[in-house]
Amino acid sequence: MRTASIAEWILRRVTSKERAAAMVGDLVELQEKKGLLRFWLSISGVAISLFWRRPIAFVAAFYAWAWVSGWFQMAIHGMNALHRPPQLWMPVFNALGLIGSALWAFSLFSAIRYGLQERSAQLSLAYAGLITAVIYLWWLPAVLVVCIVGALVLATASIIKSKLRKESLIFLASVFIYYASVYPTMFLVSVYQNYLHPGPWSGQDMRAHPLLGWLYFVTIALSLWVATWAWSRMRGWLMRSQSLESSSEML
């Protein structure tokens, strides 16, 4: 009985309490026929198959965020950028860069965790693609017009269709949560940086204080983790409400 309780505790880390209990109940029922070793192999198999997507999706999202935000920064502020946006429009492009990099991260997270057929991943990817096109090709009037019209069509569809509205809210809320958590913590780390050495930092300063680099890394990773966790939770609520709706159309 203790074995089953331990197994249930393990499965509760990766799924809901009721589902974990039902799964362990099924395997306990089979344990008499198949033995303890088969029981634990089955528990491990269930735990891995329920869990593997989340860490991989998170690591991929983190790297996507780091890579994309670096490229966006170079396109917007880079010395060798093909066409730098006018100074007046810089705040808009900075905001687009921030939102776009988060959307690429969330698209990848959602696609790996739930599959590319996931509506929120598709919507997020569509917006991310439009933002990327604007950042890289804003100086081509045709591209700018197509992107603005595309964004307006997506936004209108998201407002009119209730299902799309809920899916859009998931990624908008996740982007908000990400920046609402990353900015205050980054501010605290920058205060610490200023305390260590006021003014601009050189590479030598960074090497002298390796902890600071790690603090920035952990801050971004934790904020992204919180946002992806929120994304998963909101999607879970949405799916449960849709499941209830379809249950009302039972056989």
Partner 1 sequence: MKPPATLGEFEQVVLLAILRLDKDAYGVTIRSEIAKCTGRDPAPGALYTTLDRMEEKGIVRSWLGEATPQRGGRAKRYFALTKAGLVAVVSAQRAYQSLLNGLDLLGGAHAYCFNC
Is residue 1 at the binding interface for partner 1, with CB under 8 A as the rule?
A: yes
Tokens for 47?
């735990």
Task: Name residues contacting partner 1, limited to 127-186 (CB under 8 A).
Answer: none
Residue 200 per-residue DSSP state: P
Which lies closer to partner 1 via its Cβ, residue 27 or residue 64?
27
- 247 touches partner 1 by CB under 8 A: yes
> Quick check: 15 binds partner 1 (CB under 8 A)?
yes
Q: Which of residues 20-39 bind partner 1 (CB under 8 A)?
A: 21-30
| Span of 18-26, 153-161, 196-204, 214-222 interacting with partner 1 by CB under 8 A | 18-26
Largest Cα separation within the chain, whole Å, is: 73
In terms of CB distance, is 22 or 226 closer to partner 1? 22
Residue of 64, 102, 43 whose CA lies nearest to 226: 102
CB count in 10 Å sphere of residue 28: 15
Q: How far apart are CA 4 and CA 10, in angstroms?
A: 10
Q: By the 8 A CB rule, do 77 and 87 touch?
A: no
CA distance 135 to 144: 10
Closest to partner 1 by CB, 134 vs 164, is 164
Q: Minimum CB separation from partner 1 for residue 109, in Å?
A: 16
| 224 counts as binding partner 1 under rule CB under 8 A | no
10 near partner 1, rule: CB under 8 A? no
**For residues 25 and 184, which CB has a smaller minimum distance to partner 1 in the complex?**
25
Residue 22 burial (C-beta neighbours within 10 Å; 0-12, 13-18, 19+) = middle
> In whole angstroms, how close is the CB of 167 to partner 1 at the nearest point?
13
Footprint of partner 1 on 225-244 (CB under 8 A): 239, 242-243
Q: Least separation, in Å, of the C-beta of 83 and partner 1?
A: 43
Cα dist. 210→74, 107, 158, 205, 223 in Å? 25, 32, 45, 9, 20
H or E segment to which residue 219 belongs: helix 210-247
**Closer residue to partner 1 (CB): 23 or 182:** 23
| Chain positions contacting partner 1, by CB under 8 A | 1, 4, 8, 15, 18-19, 21-30, 42, 45-50, 239, 242-243, 245-247, 249-251
